[in-house]
Structure 1
Amino acid sequence: MLIKTLLNKCQKFKSFVYQSVELAIHKGAEVLEITVIPRKNGLAICSGCQKPSAGYDRLNIRRFEFIPIWGYRTFLLYQMRRVNCPTCGVKIEEVPWAQGKNELTKTYMQFLAFWARKMSWKEVAETFNTSWEKVFHSVEYIVDWGRKHRCLDKIKAIGVDEIAYQLGHKYLTVVYQIDRGYTRLLWIGEERTEKTIRSFFEFFTEARSKQLEFVCSDMWKPYVKVIGELAGQALHIL
């Protein structure tokens, strides 16, 4: 089976096609280079307003690092188009496999971030022949995406606690959703003061706080005071 066939099965991009796959030399090492081209008559997407726009010109070929295939570092090669957008003016097109000027594909960042949950970032970098910085940026990308797309509605139970992260009584306040069958970290704040826990409830909003049915915490007075004030209807389990 051809590599292009596999790519079309697992990583197909609307309005783009895989033109060729070649084994090449890049920075002294053998790599797989996958050339991507736009479909005929396909309009580019403006990176400013995300609307289809007429072409303006083409830039030099850019390399986007993709998931390694059979141990070979793999790159998508694409000649970026600039568009003449009636709203935004001349802009570089938006492509579905990468974000902004990032040289890593979204798929590769998802791949590295997945393994970063199972191994140290250094081990991930060494295993997949990449750098610690690329693993870091991959995790950062996934966290940012998750924060933008998470839903905070219909949360009925939260847990509040502190963790020491440094000698000398340096603490972080952490708040989790602890509904039955669904547990996740919601928020982290510096210190364990009354101001800190108030910051969480400001982030969470008054409407959501009034829908809470259970709050679990220790007997740290700043927590007890603010929880009673801002989520007093909830059963507070100490």
Structure 2
Amino acid sequence: MLIKTILNKVHKLKSFVYQDVKPGVYQGSEVFNVTVVPRKNSHAVCSGCLKPAPGYDSLAERRFEFVPLWGIRVFLLYTMRRVQCKTCGVKVEQVPWGDGKKELTKVYMQFLASWARKLSWKEVACTFNTSWEKVFHAVEYVVEWGKAHRSLDNIKAIGVDEVAYQIGHKYLTVVYQIDRNCTRLLWIGEERTEATIRSFFSFFGTERSQQLEYVCSDMWQPYVNLNSAVNP
């Protein structure tokens, strides 16, 4: 089927194959159900240590939502295996398209999160026939992945600013990296006090703080006192 060809072209799965694609109905709407099976002679991977392990048993078939095609929802159907890992004991296998117990595939969460940068979460949900909660979880997943994989080394310049987010003088403190070759948001803290600033530098670490060459901020007094926070 053409859809199998498209999936193998844009989202090939290591150690797994797309077995077949069948139209169906789920939650009152038309869907494509894509059955996924392990590749012959491949080994399941332990979700704890991410190492191959012998099989133990199988669980019920799970449904993972994929990027929709032509406005039709797509689901990967897979019967999860459990493994008998020497290190971790009996564990559910790790699959390359999923993350833990999440119902959405990784690629679909990345897809929704990329659109959430351009549209409101409600608009993204309506456009792609999904829920606001799923868009939220997609953004949360991408943010957590980014936090886990970001590097805070070799930052020489930061900018500190305040953002009002509610009527009644409710503020957030935001800290950006503003090096010539990289501009990005680093941290957000509640309020705009010296305690907030010190919380950032506690998170940033003494060694990295001492390597800063430039700190830019407005003239709000707690921000002016940044030097004492950098060198307590």
TM-score (norm 1): 0.94
Supply the AA of the counterpart residue of 1:37: V
* Percent of residue pairs bearing the same amino acid type: 71
Alignment check: 8 A CA contact 1:164 1:171 kept? yes
Distance 2:23 2:227 in 1: 65
Alignment check: 8 A CA contact 1:209 1:230 kept? no
Partner of 1:223: 223
Residue 4 of structure 1: CA displacement?
1.3
* Runs of 4+ with >4 A deviation: none
1:175-214 correspondence to structure 2 within 5 Å: 175-214=175-214
- Unmatched 5+ stretches in structure 2: none
More moved, 66-75 vs 39-48: 39-48
Residue 230 of structure 1: CA displacement?
4.2
Partner of 2:11: 11
Partner of 2:151: 151
Secondary structure of the structure 2 residue equivalent to 1:14: coil
TM-score (norm 2): 0.96
After superposition, give the CA deviation of every residue in 1:57-111 in whole Å (9 maximum; x if it has no partner). Answer: 1111100000001111000000000111111111111111010110100000000
Distance 1:167 1:63 in 2: 43
After superposition, give the CA deviation of every residue in 1:2-27 in whole Å (9 maximum; x if it has no partner). Answer: 22122111101110001001111223
- Unmatched 5+ stretches in structure 1: 233-238
1:23-172 correspondence to structure 2 within 5 Å: 23-172=23-172
Alignment check: 8 A CA contact 2:197 2:229 kept? no
RMSD of aligned residue pairs (Cα, Å): 1.2
Query: Residue 29 and residue 167 in structure 1: after superposition, are their counterparts in 2 closer, same or farther (change >3 A)?
Result: closer
Distance 1:3 1:169 in 2: 53
Secondary structure of the structure 2 residue equivalent to 1:21: strand
